[in-house]
Amino acid sequence: MCSLKIYEKLQFWPQNPECFREVFEECINNLNLLSVSLLKAMATSLNVDENCFLDQCGERRTMVARFNFYPLCPRPDVVLGVKPHADGSAITILLQDKEVEGFQVLKDDQWFRVPAVPYGFLVIVGDQVEIMSNGIFKSPVHRVVMNAERERNTLAAFISPDTDVGIGPVEKLINEERPRVYKDVKNYVEHFFQYYQQGRRPIEAAMI
Ligand SMILES: O=C(O)CCC(=O)C(=O)O
Ligand SMILES: [Fe+2]
């Protein structure tokens, strides 16, 4: 049984509409199951024990859910919805707006649009899976652009390891060809995100 912290906070979510909490709780349960399957599949794809990422996240891993609302913006050419960053989570599951796109990912110094896929989830590798996989999975820098004609709504669920337990590269993913890239870290989001304010990528601070 996983003690997701979000259940402790469910009483603070809106009571209106009446079905909101019930529907949202079911949604969280399913996102939790999805995150377990994803973390196992990602480990399996690297030929390591399927639980090696999940076990590092621990039974007391957290899921922070955030509803993002992007209002109309008359100057999308100069205003960003979310400035460039990589997520500090292990993984993020993003339910994008059904129709309005805005999410962009940085690759080779170029921004690429991610299309809106109705009811599809966008799975984003976070810094902590990059660390656990010793840099094999990359946590992408992304941003959100604004829109002058359409509002946009998204739901982001950030799954992060237990803050009391350290994480680090899986031993089997460290070898002569791929020496250890990252240190073991603890409470990454809290300790490392100060680098973000300084315009640096927090994951750089976790490099050996
Ligand atoms: O709302 C979105 O499309 C993405 C938001 C995001 O990147 C974040 O909250 O970390
Ligand atoms: Fe993000």
Average pLDDT of the segment spanning 66-79: 96
pLDDT at position 197 is 80
Pocket test for ligand 1, best of 105, 142, 159 (most atoms within 8 A of CB): 142
Query: Measured from the CB, is residue 158 less than 6 Å from ligand 1?
Result: no
pLDDT at position 4 is 54
**1 alpha-carbon distance from chain centroid:** 22
- Of the two residues 126 and 59, the one the predictor is more confident about is 126
Query: Measured from the CB, is residue 70 less than 6 Å from ligand 1?
Result: no
Amino acid at 63: M
Q: Nearest to residue 206, comparing CAs of 143, 92, 107, 129?
A: 129
- Residue 65 Cα to ligand 2 middle (Å): 12
Distance between CA atoms of residues 12 and 94, nearest Å? 21
Distance between CA atoms of residues 123 and 150, nearest Å? 24
- For residue 157, which ligand has an atom nearest its CA? 1
How many CB atoms within 10 Å of residue 197?
8
| Residue whose pair of structure tokens reads 């899976």 in the numeric block | 129
Q: What is the pLDDT of residues 103-153, one digit of tens each?
A: 999 999 999 999 999 999 999 999 999 999 999 999 999 999 999 999 999
Task: Give the model's confidence band at 200: pLDDT under 50 very low, under 70 low, under 90 confident, else very high.
Answer: confident
**190 alpha-carbon distance from chain centroid:** 15
Average pLDDT of the segment spanning 63-90: 96
Contact by Cβ (8 Å): 96, 108: no
- Residue 113 Cα to ligand 1 middle (Å): 13
Q: Tell the residue nearest (CA) to atom 3 of ligand 1.
A: 103
Query: Measured from the CB, is residue 103 less than 6 Å from ligand 1?
Result: yes
Contact by Cβ (8 Å): 148, 169: no
Average pLDDT of the segment spanning 42-61: 96
Query: Measured from the CB, is residue 156 less than 6 Å from ligand 1?
Result: yes
- For residue 104, which ligand has an atom nearest its CA? 1
Distances (CA, A) of 113 to 105, 106, 107, 110, 201: 7, 9, 11, 10, 21
Q: What is the pTM of this model?
A: 0.94
